[in-house]
């Protein structure tokens, strides 16, 4: 059966589930077609798309397949086949009785399925030897006693263990990965749902027997499954290894985030054995803390860095501790970059430096030269706050214009700058204008925060990156101003994170191309 290799921390790592054992952790495409002909076609399509194995979800088939139908379905299969037939109590669709369900699995085994997946409450004694996956499912959450469940699965006569729970937060994905380390037998362990994504992606690093993916969007057999294409292209499944370093982005929502695409493309371009995963954490300091505690307690994860986005930047500062953060992150009150170092956590804010860098490069000046400039900042939210803190750090003169004047005044008091209402921008004496409201952002791309560009303004920087060219920037260009797109700030902050984590120069052009390609797709 499976051979052993070594994880990053030198532990033995089991893999393989077939006698051929030709590959490491399998990318298993779960097939959910409702008729046998389509499922057979999907088996071929999955193999063509790079799946190492397929899971035939026989419970999706209508009518219930008999021995003849299963023989036709499984004849001459090119990749390993797992036959699964789940009852509704375990998240399945099977419409018949329990004895009919078990008959379907027996027929599938006779028809040549490589493995049959039998739930842990079904006695496995009379199943074909060496071809049984004993599976445990919790469709309501993650039980506290995963360790004892893992020991129970290990004690069954089945060849392979499978454990699937529902993730409340990404800490449950980490608990599933711990099961992979704890089990003596080849094992699949995953946390379902979007919050469990890390358990699916990191399965290969921790030498699971396999991880499940769907053939295309909408064909998932369980919540949180990526498509085969996403697994192979977005998270670079084929290049993952036990030595892979791990990074991720914390946010809510996080599914829309471009960061996994940007950082994974950068790792590929630089030839780094690293992967970047999305981490959905619900709002609230308690949720953030629960995940971070679970992460810090598991150094064997090889986790090196985290991007932090809305709504957790303040929670990140509180967790890392002001003493471990850069001075401006403390002043801004927000951390968007956490680095896990051997001596502890470090917090940084790359937002302000990304914005300043974008402007200074466009203007061909050093940051210190900002001391001689007067800048108008439109908006007083999170981005404006980071930029104002950065500008004041370099002693620039700043006036904040905001719809809610009291908010501009509060920022003005805190960072010793001027404050005014939005209407006053028409009379600004500033030469550089920085726009930090969402006006003009996708999908309302025709909106513009200003009727005209104030006469003194020579440079306009719009923090909005979607679209890359806003109405405001078009208007500024027509007025003869130098313009800077929010795309530059967006790329700069990712570049700064990459450099903080890896200590290497980032492949900036690759990262920029990913952002522009993704924005063009939207």
Residues classed as catalytic: 137, 162, 313, 351
Nearest CA to 150 out of 187, 192, 194 is that of 187
**Interaction of residue 260 with ligand NAP, rule CB under 6 A:** no
Supply the minimum distance, in Å, between the C-beta of residue 434 and ligand NAP. 10
DSSP assignments along 460-509, one per residue: EEE---SSSS-HHHHHHHHTT-EEE-HHHHHHHHHHHHHHHHHSS---HH
- The residues, any chain, with a CB within 8 Å of residue 31's CB and separated by 6 or more, are 39, 42, 43, 46, 54, 55, 56, 57, 60, 215, 219, 221
Supply the minimum distance, in Å, between the C-beta of residue 496 and ligand NAP. 11
Q: Which is nearer to ligand NAP, 261 or 489 (CB)?
A: 489
**Cα 512 to Cα 265: distance, rounded to the nearest angstrom:** 10
Among 465, 471, 472, 484, binds ligand NAP (CB under 6 A): 465
**Cα 313 to Cα 329: distance, rounded to the nearest angstrom:** 10
Supply the minimum distance, in Å, between the C-beta of residue 65 and ligand NAP. 51
**Interaction of residue 438 with ligand NAP, rule CB under 6 A:** yes
Strands 337-341 and 344-348: antiparallel
**Cα 354 to Cα 359: distance, rounded to the nearest angstrom:** 9
**Interaction of residue 226 with ligand NAP, rule CB under 6 A:** no
**Cα 303 to Cα 297: distance, rounded to the nearest angstrom:** 11
Q: Which is nearer to ligand NAP, 265 or 494 (CB)?
A: 494
Among 294, 433, 439, 476, binds ligand NAP (CB under 6 A): 439
**Interaction of residue 288 with ligand NAP, rule CB under 6 A:** no
**Interaction of residue 251 with ligand NAP, rule CB under 6 A:** no
Among 190, 383, 473, 511, binds ligand NAP (CB under 6 A): 383
Among 105, 486, 511, 512, binds ligand NAP (CB under 6 A): 486
**Interaction of residue 382 with ligand NAP, rule CB under 6 A:** yes
DSSP assignments along 87-135, one per residue: -GGGT----S-HHHHHHHHHHHHHTT-SEEEEETTS--TTSPTT-EEEE
Supply the minimum distance, in Å, between the C-beta of residue 136 and ligand NAP. 42
Among 100, 148, 404, 452, binds ligand NAP (CB under 6 A): 404
Stretch that binds ligand NAP, among 204-212, 230-238, 411-419, 463-471 (CB under 6 A): 463-471
Closest chain position to ligand NAP (CB): 381
**Cα 462 to Cα 482: distance, rounded to the nearest angstrom:** 11
Residues 350-379, one symbol each (x = binds ligand NAP by CB under 6 A, - = not), give: -----------------------------x
Q: Which residues bind ligand NAP (CB under 6 A)?
A: 379-384, 402-404, 407, 436-439, 441, 463-465, 486, 489-490, 493
């Amino acid at each position: 059966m499976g051979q052993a290799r070594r994880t990053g921390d030198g532990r033995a790592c089991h893999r393989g589930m077939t006698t051929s054992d030709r590959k490491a952790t399998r990318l298993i495409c779960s097939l959910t077609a409702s008729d046998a002909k389509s499922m057979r076609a999907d088996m071929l399509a999955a193999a063509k798309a790079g799946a190492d194995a397929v899971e035939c979800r026989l419970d999706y088939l209508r009518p219930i397949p008999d021995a003849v139908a299963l023989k036709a379905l499984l004849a001459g299969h090119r990749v390993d086949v797992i036959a699964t037939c789940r009852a509704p109590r375990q998240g399945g669709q099977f419409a018949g009785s329990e004895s009919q369900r078990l008959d379907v699995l027996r027929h599938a085994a006779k028809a040549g399925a490589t493995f049959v997946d039998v739930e842990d409450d079904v006695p496995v004694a009379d199943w074909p030897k060496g071809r049984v996956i004993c599976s445990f499912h919790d469709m309501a959450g993650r039980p506290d006693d995963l360790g004892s469940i893992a020991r129970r699965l290990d004690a069954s006569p089945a060849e392979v263990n499978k454990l699937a729970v529902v993730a409340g937060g990404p800490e449950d994905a980490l608990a599933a990965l711990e099961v992979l380390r704890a089990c003596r037998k080849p094992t699949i362990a995953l946390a379902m749902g979007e919050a469990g994504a890390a358990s699916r992606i990191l399965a290969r690093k921790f030498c699971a027997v396999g991880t499940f993916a769907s053939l295309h969007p909408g064909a998932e057999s369980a919540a949180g499954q990526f498509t085969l294409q996403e697994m192979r292209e977005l998270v670079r499944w084929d290049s993952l290894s036990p030595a892979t370093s791990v990074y991720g982005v914390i946010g809510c929502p996080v599914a829309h985030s471009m960061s996994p695409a940007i950082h994974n493309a950068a790792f590929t371009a630089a030839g780094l054995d690293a992967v970047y995963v999305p981490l959905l954490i619900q709002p609230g300091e308690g949720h953030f803390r629960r995940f971070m505690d679970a992460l810090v307690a598991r150094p064997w994860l090889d986790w090196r860095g985290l991007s932090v986005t809305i709504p957790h930047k303040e929670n990140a500062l509180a967790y890392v501790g002001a003493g471990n953060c850069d001075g401006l992150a403390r002043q801004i009150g927000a951390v968007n970059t956490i680095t896990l170092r051997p001596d502890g956590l470090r917090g940084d804010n790359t937002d302000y430096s990304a914005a300043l860098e974008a402007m200074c490069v466009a203007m061909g000046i050093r940051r210190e030269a900002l001391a001689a400039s007067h800048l108008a900042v439109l908006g007083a939210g999170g981005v404006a706050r980071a930029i104002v803190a950065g500008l004041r750090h370099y002693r620039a003169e700043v006036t904040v214009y905001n719809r809610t004047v009291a908010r501009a005044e509060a920022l003005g008091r805190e960072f010793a700058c001027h404050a005014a209402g939005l209407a006053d921008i028409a009379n600004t004496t500033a030469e550089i204008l920085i726009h930090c409201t969402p006006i003009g952002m996708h999908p309302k791309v025709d909106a513009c925060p200003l009727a005209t560009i104030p006469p003194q303004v020579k440079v306009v920087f719009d923090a909005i990156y979607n679209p890359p060219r806003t109405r405001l920037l078009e208007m500024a260009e027509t007025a003869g101003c130098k313009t800077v797109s929010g795309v530059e700030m967006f790329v700069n902050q990712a570049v700064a994170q990459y450099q903080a984590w890896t200590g290497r120069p980032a492949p900036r052009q690759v990262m920029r191309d990913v952002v522009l390609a993704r924005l063009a797709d939207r």
